[in-house]
Chains A and B, each alone.
Chain A
Amino acid sequence: MKLVVAIIRPDMLTSVLESLFHTEVRGLTISRVQGHGGETERVETYRGTTVKMDLSEKVRLEIGVSDHFVTPTVEAILSSARTGSVGDGKVFVLPVEKVYRIRTGEVDQDAVTPVEAAATA
């Protein structure tokens, strides 16, 4: 199992979710984060006080997937989150030691397999 972590632009979130949905990725967690990835700083002015906004709003997705799902998931994110300008974000794939599903106590592979898929398999 792997944990796919993606940092994306907030305004691309809808298109990423759409794309993940079509790839049949069913479980994910998102959080709103702030970060900096080399994009041009925005300069804002409030009454004579000029500030450089070093951090931009980003959305972080965390998706636990079984091994054969890693490539489709990453490809779905890459294709849907890309605008071509600096600041599109990153995708990280991390190894996962253990996964538990809280409701049933299932472990690992079973725990990251959606319920419907498990029933038909």
Chain B
Amino acid sequence: MIAADTAWMLASTALVLLMTPALGFFYGGLVREKNSLNTIMMSVAALGFVGIAWALIGYSFAFAPGSGFLGGMSFALLRGVGLDAQGTIPHLLFMSYQATFAIITAALISGAIVERMRFGPYLAFITLWSLFVYAPVAHWVWGGGWLAKLGALDFAGGTVVHINAGAAALVAATVLGPRKDYGRQAILPHSVPFTVLGAGLLWFGWFGFNAGSALGANPSAALAFTNTLFAPAATLMVWTMMDLLRTGKVTAVGGATAIVVGLVAVTPAAGFVGPLGGLALGALAAFPSYYALLFRARTRLDDSLDVVAAHGVGGTVGALLTGVLAQKVWNTATDGALFGNPKQLGIQAAAVLATIVYSAALTWGLMKAIGAVAALRATAPDEGLGLDVSQHGEEAYARGEGAILILDEPPGPPTPAAAPVLRAEGGRG
């Protein structure tokens, strides 16, 4: 075990954990005021539900020795996951670090289904999804599964996290159907500053996500860190120019989106491409996602906060470009197509395709199964009132006017004498 590695991984774990509330703010700013708490809670709840599911079974499904498709049960309930070394850090720390990935991946899907899904079924969905979709795909790529053996490159989770969540988002939004107001009235972000704040905190946390995926305080972490700094910067610059050329105005929501797209795209590549390769990757990643956003808004697909365009498309572009721009000089593992190894691009494409197909199919099954036992959607009046009040009994910006304090009822039934008096005084007509 190496003390420096342990120290960096402890810090990285905390950084990645911060990304989930940050995502809550990023998404929360983009929805209407009446649904803002519900949207933030969709991310926050994942910290609890997915975190616990991961500790109890998810980690074992992903990282215990098993077949090429699924890990075994030997780490269930954290049996055998102790303070002994896993690589150069304590096994328990490795498990915690991976838990933060499972949490944010499940939370990412929420962006496609905001403002209309009932909270209970949502909790069931992300918990089961993290066990039966996230954990197996994590096993394929990082747990010694078939994609790892094939040689697919995914440094910090382009396929496992982003393409996986993007495909699930597409299917979940389709099964759930569009919001009742979608395409009928303007649905505007209620707090763009929240969204920009969320994007900033996501970027900060992403240094733990990408540089932490080196699993140590080493040169590979330094490379991933640099790429995490400059690739999104390039995406932001290109996005800004496209905004400027198309409408003459640079939007803040566009800027926040660009940062996330750049971060998504560089995730699989962070430790495999050189700094200039990372820059090029970030710049190129802006185009497909930019046009995917514009195209999606004209369709009936109510992927409300564009998880597909940002994470699905951005992740796919990143995963494929990793197969093009990877350089052995930087990663000591393998070259990409640009450096004389065209085969790598094919392997990347296979990993992307397999993840999309598996994630989409299982997500469809899970949504249908949960939908068979409970209504997935809030009723139309609840949707009109807003999910904050109907699902959570709270308002994000309560004004307090007309609020009457309800004092706790004294235990026991009311005395018979008291009841007629109250009735005699009369209530509201």
Contact = CB atoms under 8 A, between A and B. Distances in A.
Interface of A: 9, 11-12, 14, 34, 36, 38, 42-46, 49-55, 83, 85
A55 B401 contact: yes
A38 B406 contact: no
Contact of B385 (A11, A45, A46): A11
Contacts of B184: 14
A46 B406 CA distance: 12
Interface in B371-406: 381, 384-385, 389, 393-395, 398-399, 401-406
B403 A85 contact: no
Given A44-B394, A52-B406, A54-B403, A38 B428 contact: yes
B402 A43 contact: no
A45 B394 contact: yes
B332 interface: no
Contacts of A12: 384
A51 B401 contact: no
B178 to A, nearest CB: 16
A55 B403 CA distance: 7
Nearest to A36: B402
Given A42-B389, A45-B394, A11 B384 contact: yes
B415 interface: no
B185 interface: yes
A54 B405 contact: no
Given A38-B428, A44-B395, A44-B398, A51 B389 contact: no
A65 to B, nearest CB: 25
Given A42-B389, A51-B406, 16 more contacts: A9-B384, A11-B384, A34-B401, A34-B402, A38-B429, A44-B393, A44-B395, A44-B398, A46-B394, A46-B398, A49-B405, A51-B404, A52-B403, A53-B403, A83-B381, A83-B384
Which one of A50, A53, A83 has the greatest number of beta carbons of chain B within 10 Å?
A53
Contacts of A55: 401-402
Contacts of A43: 393, 406
B185 A14 contact: yes
A38 B429 CA distance: 8
Contacts of B398: 44, 46
Nearest to A13: B185
18 contacts: A11-B181, A11-B384, A12-B384, A34-B399, A34-B401, A36-B402, A38-B429, A43-B393, A44-B389, A44-B393, A45-B394, A46-B394, A46-B398, A50-B405, A52-B403, A53-B403, A83-B384, A85-B381
A83 B384 CA distance: 10
A42 B184 CA distance: 27
B403 A51 contact: yes
A44 B398 CA distance: 10
Contacts of B404: 51-52, 54
A85 B384 CA distance: 12
Contact of B405 (A34, A36, A42, A51): A51
Contacts of A9: 384
